[in-house]
């Protein structure tokens, strides 16, 4: 048995000014931009919005492809969740760092990531493997 849930949304931005993009989306969605990108060891092409009160992870990412949004599904068992989604018709696009980029049968891309939310066990859906 494993668990998964929608973790949040990633706003892919093809932009030279990620800070400006984060300010726009933060204001549009009613979330503050965090200062996590200023911490040592952080990756400079990401900006996180403070969506914790809604139990979501909302982040902007600088990309080279056209701008779009995608969602992340978080899980406690990456292999089991990817296999479950493949049984439903999704396909693997590629493994990046610590997560799988997948494509739904309808063409949308999404990522499957390992769980990070502190209340993951309480919020996630249980699946029999």
> Which residues constitute the domain of residue 101?
2-127
Provide the whole-model pTM.
0.80
Determine how β-strand 91-96 pairs with β-strand 99-103.
antiparallel
Q: What's the CATH code of the domain at 66?
A: 3.10.180.10
96-129 confidence digits (pLDDT tens): 999 999 999 989 999 999 998 888 999 899 998 6
Number of domains in the chain: 1
How would residue 9 be classed by pLDDT, with cut points 50, 70 and 90?
very high
pLDDT above 90 as % of the chain? 77
Rama region for 41: left / alpha / beta (φ>0; ψ in -120 to 50; rest): left
């Amino acid at each position: 048995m494993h668990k998964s849930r929608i973790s949040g949304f990633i706003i892919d931005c093809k932009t030279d000014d990620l800070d400006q993009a984060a300010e726009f989306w933060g204001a549009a969605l009613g979330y503050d931009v965090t200062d996590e990108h200023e911490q040592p060891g952080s990756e400079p092409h990401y900006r996180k919005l403070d969506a914790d009160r809604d139990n979501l992870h909302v982040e902007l990412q600088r990309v080279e492809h056209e701008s779009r949004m995608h969602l992340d599904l978080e899980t406690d068992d990456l292999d089991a969740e990817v296999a479950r989604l493949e049984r439903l018709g999704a396909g693997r696009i590629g493994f990046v760092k610590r997560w799988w980029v997948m494509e739904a049968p309808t063409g949308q891309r999404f990522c499957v990531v390992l769980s990070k939310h502190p209340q993951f066990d309480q919020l996630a859906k249980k699946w029999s493997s």
